Structure 1
Amino acid sequence: MLQQRRDDIMKLYSYWRSTTSYRVRIALNLKGLSYAYCPVDLVAGEQSEPDYSALNPGKGVPTLVLEDGTVLTQSLAIIDYLEAIAPEPQLLPAQPLLRARIQAAAHTIAMDIHPVNNLRVMTYLKSQLGMDSAGQTAWFHHWMTEGFAAYQALLPGGTRFSFADTPTLADICLVPQLYNAHRWGVDMTRFPRLLEIEEHALSLAAFDQARPENQPDAS
């Protein structure tokens, strides 16, 4: 049953371990936007309950409900909206080439790694294709390693974060995926640059407060 929350601030329907929700939490925090946290237990299947699927037909998280009741879904679309209504700090630069490069790196995480490793895919591999835990882990490690190698190759040198000395959309996508990599035991020795970025990011309150273990539904 979805929890009813106050309507004078935005409501974020989220799951503590969801990397897509994690992205949006970081963006909201960086921009200093207040929101009410509304947990959706993906493991328990709450995303498929009628009241939630009416809100988000994709039956996933995050979902952001604005103060006027307008519903937004898909993490990158939500972050794009937040960038438009709260331009500072800037997550995507105006300079066209750098903007495109940052988006390409972000999409490497959001469109190449995440879709083949999310909960619904892993559940399908197990329940419909009979893949055991070892097979699922191998699958996850393969696609994570492939994606991280591509991401790291896209980065310039000499910046504190992926493309600048302040976080961009690329870092907002990277850090949650690194959380998953650590959780699944991916060998990260090939990716020292990514681990340096992660260390810088998690030293910031906006990233630290968005960590899965710091969410009210963490278990």
Structure 2
Amino acid sequence: MLLEQVQVSECAKKFGTNNFRVVLVSRNQDALDQYAKELSSEGIETYALAADAANSASLTAAFEQIKKNYGSPDVLVYNVAVLKSGKPTSLTAESLVSHYQVDVAGALHCALQVIPDQVAQKAGTILFTGGNFALRPSADYTALSIGKAALRTLAFTLAEELKPQGVFVGTVTIAGIVAPGTRFAPELIAEKYWELYEKREEHEIVYS
């Protein structure tokens, strides 16, 4: 699981309590170690590995280590985005590409690390974290809106290509602000990832 927000910790917990071994990946090793410690204390076999979603070589190295030490992932959850405001005219071509590298290209690169083995096994799941900006873009968050729209398209096109080969691809489109104790509490959103994984029917859940 590629980790950027606390909601992925809840997602990891959901899969972990259903007999999955969890590998968390993020830039921040200290935060990773804390999440891994919390999950391990609940009896979930958890490992943590640092990598940067903005750096394809870093991601490749991480997946090589994962495959070597834990086996090829049965489920990939990509939940990474550059959460930075900015109107269209505040962007440059370079800054937009830097957002896109994390929001979309990183997602594709991670998927490509697991797809060959999943296709060979005719089984596997890839889940992306979408957002309301994919459906209702905001000028105040232009780069993120573009990224989420592109990620949604990536999810649907990958799903179309890989479904005949036994691999399920889906996206949870979160139409709200993630916050504990609300309708958008991380543990409630985690249920939607599990629902996609279990049912394998619709390729998108819009959680609003």
TM-score (norm 2): 0.36
Question: Normalized per residue, which structure has more strand?
Answer: 2
Is the radius of gyration larger for structure 1 or structure 2? 1
Larger RCO (CA within 8 A; separation ≥ 6)? 1
